[in-house]
């Protein structure tokens, strides 16, 4: 690891011109409108419903249509469309994706159970024999069954209890099974769905939906990073130790202004080095973009982050992004409070330098030596006349209890500030409660999460 550290330029106070965004409410409107159209498709193609078998079968068809639509929406939310990532925010999109995933898995499960039950009532047979008949005798059902099993498996591994036991890289690659699950289930939908058999318009609409989402995925998740990798020619310039288990990676490239990265945003970084090239992990910028240079600061939390300390200068880098709405756009106040926990200071370091107006940074860490980037933060505070407060758990006399009263004692006007919060999950949850106790409105708080 090289310890040569580039000089830190004089702080700047004006952020770059933000890229175009979409209003955060539009995607939700489109998602709900699509669900209404799916229900209209079922309604238009369904006659009168009578008897227990009819109600069960039609309920199975409705849940199947909605599950199929939900799969397309889930992929679109994670297609990494820049306008969505900036306008809605990556954290918010991830929450929508997680919530939608739960609904979709339950809809798919309900579809399977209701259809089999309804068919069993119609044919006057038991559920076990009907299940065997459906899987083996109906066209494309073996593919559909395999797709459902994969989708159910992805849903189980995405549950919070399971996710906590998985490395990010493991969880990320298990999620690729979703593509195979949806591919296998797609042909089953068209072959067996009563709304699609004999209805060319419905089939064309379903093809258009899935092909459109597939194009978004191919372009933004696969081709764009490759094109950007060749266009910008990013390479590792230096690696510098900031604190125990924390390193900064400096990268240089060409034409980086075209990235239009904003302070507070992150990229997904792929380092073309042995053991690292196969993973693209998200790390925030830890200084504002400066001409031909970008920097990230990473804490050792797993195999990937640990390996970054051994990167050699000249290593090729592909950067996918920028992503995230954790920026200074559309403020509610002319004052801001930045609340950082541990390595969560990295995106706040960029905002501390670039946000206009009165800015205060509160930085919490476990020990004094864990306060990464402290020298830079002090320099920024001195250059712009801002305030920075450091608190550590050890020794305890320098700790800060995360309560509303404690926050008001440090920042008396906290309820009249925009708050930017980033840190470990436990600290973030405690800080959110303290901010609400201090009278800060939820819509005035922006968060960046470490969870996946």
Q: Which pair of structure tokens corresponds to residue 129?
A: 């024999």
Q: Give residue 374's pLDDT.
A: 92
Chain length of the chain:
452
**143-198 pLDDT per residue, tens:** 888 888 888 888 888 777 667 777 766 777 777 788 888 888 888 888 888 888 88
Give me the pLDDT at residue 24, please.
61
Higher pLDDT: 421 or 395? It is 421
Superfamily for 233-323?
Translation factors (2.40.30.10)
**pLDDT band, residue 362 (cuts 50/70/90):** very high
What is the domain partition of the chain in residue ranges?
25-226, 233-323, 335-448
As a whole number, mean pLDDT of residues 115-122 equals 91
Q: Do 350 and 248 touch, CB atoms closer than 8 A?
A: no
Q: Model confidence at 19, in pLDDT bands (50, 70, 90)?
A: very low
Q: CATH: 3.40.367.20, 3.40.50.80, 3.40.50.10190, 3.30.70.20. Which one for 335-448?
A: 3.40.50.80
Asked if pLDDT for residue 11 goes beyond 60, the answer is: no
Identify whether the C-beta of residue 283 lies closer than 8 Å to the C-beta of residue 298.
yes
Residue 13: pLDDT above 50?
Answer: no
Lowest mean pLDDT across 19-23, 79-83, 148-152, 165-169? 19-23
Structure pTM?
Answer: 0.76
State residue 184's pLDDT score. 86
Tell me: pLDDT of 1 over 80: no
Q: Find the range with the poorest average confidence among 46-60, 80-94, 271-285.
A: 80-94
Per-residue confidence at 450, pLDDT binned at 50, 70, 90? low
Better-predicted residue by pLDDT, 158 or 134:
134
Say how far apart CA 263 and CA 351 lie, in whole Å.
6
- For the cut 90, the answer to whether the pLDDT of residue 18 exceeds it is no
Residue 235 has pLDDT above 70, yes or no: yes
- The model's pLDDT over 369-387, given as tens digits with 9 standing for 90+, comes to 999 999 999 999 999 999 9
Q: Are 325 and 236 in contact (CB under 8 A)?
A: no
- Beta-carbon contacts of residue 282 (< 8 Å; ≥ 6 apart): 266, 267, 268, 269, 323
Tell me, letter by letter, the H, E, C secondary structure of the chain. Answer: CCCCCCCCCCCCCCCCCCCCCCCCHHHHHHHHHHHHHHHHHHHHHCCCCCHHHHHHHHHHHHHHHHHHHHHHHHHHHCCCCHHHHHHCCHHHHHHHHHHHHHHHHHHHHHHHHHHHHHHHHHHCCCHHHHHHHHHHHCCCHHHHHHHHHHHHHHHHHHCHHHHCCCCHHHHHHHCCHHHHHHHHHHHHHHHHCCCCCCCHHHHHHHHHHHHHHHHHHHHHHHHHHHHHHHHHCCEEEEEEEEECCEEEEEEECCCHHHHCCCCCCEEEEEECCCCCCCCCEEEEECCCCECCEEEEEEECCCHHHHHHHHCCCCCEEEEEEEECCCCCCCCCCCEEEEEEEHHHHHHHHHHHHHCCCEEEEEEEECCHHHCCCHHHHHHHHHHHCCEEEEEECCCHHHCCCCCHHHHHHHCCCHHHCEEEEECCHHHHHHHHHHHHHCCCCHHHEEEECCCC
pLDDT, greater one: 434 or 168: 434
Q: Is 128 in contact with 81 (CB distance < 8 Å)?
A: no
Which pLDDT score, from 0 to 100, does residue 23 have? 54
When mean pLDDT is compared across 18-22, 313-317, 440-444, the lowest value belongs to 18-22
Residue 106: is its pLDDT beyond 60? yes
Q: Please state, in angstroms and as integers, the Cα–Cα distance from residue 286 to each residue in 296, 337, 396, 431, following that order.
A: 5, 18, 28, 22
**Residue 8 binned pLDDT confidence (cut-offs 50, 70, 90):** very low
Residue 392, token pair as written in the block: 């550590």
């Amino acid at each position: 690891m090289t310890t040569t550290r580039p000089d830190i330029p004089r702080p700047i106070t004006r952020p770059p011109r933000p890229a175009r965004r979409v209003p955060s409410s539009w995607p939700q409107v489109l998602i709900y409108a699509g669900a209404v159209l799916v229900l209209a498709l079922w309604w238009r193609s369904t006659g009168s419903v009578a008897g227990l078998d009819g109600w069960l079968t039609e309920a199975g068809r409705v849940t199947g249509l909605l599950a199929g639509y939900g799969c397309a929406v889930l992929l679109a939310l994670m297609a990494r469309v820049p306008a969505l990532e900036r306008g809605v925010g990556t954290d918010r999109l991830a929450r929508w994706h997680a919530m939608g995933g739960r609904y979709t898995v339950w809809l798919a499960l309900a579809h399977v159970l209701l259809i089999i039950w309804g068919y069993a009532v119609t044919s006057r047979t038991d559920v076990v024999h009907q299940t065997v008949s459906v899987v083996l005798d109906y066209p494309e059902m073996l593919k559909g069954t395999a797709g459902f099993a994969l989708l159910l498996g992805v849903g189980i591994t995405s549950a919070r209890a399971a996710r906590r036991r998985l490395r990010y890289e493991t969880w990320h690659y298990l999620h690729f099974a979703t593509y195979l699950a949806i591919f296998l289930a797609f042909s089953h939908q068209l072959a067996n769905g009563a709304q699609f058999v004999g209805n060319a318009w419905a089939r064309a609409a379903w093809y258009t939906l899935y092909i459109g989402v597939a194009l978004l995925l191919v372009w933004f998740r696969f081709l764009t990073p490759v094109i950007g990798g060749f266009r910008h020619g990013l390479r590792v310039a230096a690696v510098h130790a900031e604190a125990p288990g924390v390193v900064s990676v400096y990268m240089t490239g060409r034409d980086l202004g075209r990235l239009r990265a904003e302070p507070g945003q992150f990229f997904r970084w792929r380092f073309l080095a042995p053991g690292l090239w196969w993973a693209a992990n998200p790390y925030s910028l830890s200084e504002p973009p400066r001409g031909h240079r970008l920097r990230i600061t990473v804490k050792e939390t797993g195999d990937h982050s640990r390996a970054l300390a051994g990167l050699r200068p000249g290593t090729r880098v592909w950067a996918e992004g920028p992503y995230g709405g954790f920026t200074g756009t559309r403020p509610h106040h002319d004052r801001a409070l930045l609340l950082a926990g541990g390595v969560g200071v990295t995106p706040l370091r960029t905002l501390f330098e670039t946000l206009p107006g009165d800015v205060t940074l509160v930085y919490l860490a476990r020990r004094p030596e864990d306060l990464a980037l402290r020298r830079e933060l002090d320099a920024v505070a001195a250059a712009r006349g801002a305030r920075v407060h450091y608190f550590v758990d050890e020794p305890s006399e320098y700790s800060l209890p995360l309560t509303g009263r404690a926050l008001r004692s440090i920042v008396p006007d906290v309820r009249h500030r925009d708050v930017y919060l980033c840190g470990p999950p436990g600290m973030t949850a405690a800080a959110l409660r303290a901010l609400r106790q201090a009278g800060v409105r939820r819509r005035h708080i922006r968060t960046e999460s470490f969870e996946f």
